[in-house]
Amino acid sequence: MSTNPTQIWKGSTFTIERKRDLAAGSVIFRFSGPFTARDMYSSLTPAALRNIFESDPPHHVPSVNIFDLTDVPYMDSCGLGLLVGHFVRCQSKGIQLIAAGVKPRVMELFKTTKVEHLFPIIATVDEASGKRRGKP
């Protein structure tokens, strides 16, 4: 059972939607637009940025977070820092993080900064959801 997407951030050119898949125990964060500091810091406080992905009550912690980056043509180091910060928080809670739909410019940033080794990078959200459920 999936919940309807909830928009958790809307900047001038960038949005993040959050959708829970209760049956799979996952949360999908769908990013859309360039993920850059200009958009982040003009619309959210630093505290809000740190906690943007945290909205699950303690008894409903998902087992996996999927970052759907299909519609992100590029990101800067601030966007990357937000993803890595969330990865660290997920790791401390036993939550797996998967990135899906990574575009070439974003992948180049991941490779340059050695982030591509931190979490699985899967071609699509459907594949990431299948990987989560242990399907081929």
Q: What is the pLDDT of residues 15-45, one digit of tens each?
A: 888 888 877 788 999 999 998 877 666 666 6
pLDDT in tens, 70-121: 999 999 998 898 899 889 989 998 999 999 999 999 999 999 999 999 999 9
pLDDT in tens, 43-78: 666 667 666 777 665 567 788 999 999 999 999 998
Do strands 64-71 and 96-100 pair parallel, antiparallel, or not at all (unpaired)? parallel
Do strands 15-21 and 26-32 pair parallel, antiparallel, or not at all (unpaired)? antiparallel
Could you give the CA distance from residue 7 to residue 12 in angstroms, rounded to a whole number?
A: 14
pTM (2 d.p.): 0.82
The CA-atom distances, in angstroms, between 60 and each of 21, 28, 56, 77 are 11, 14, 6, 31
pLDDT of residue 10: 62
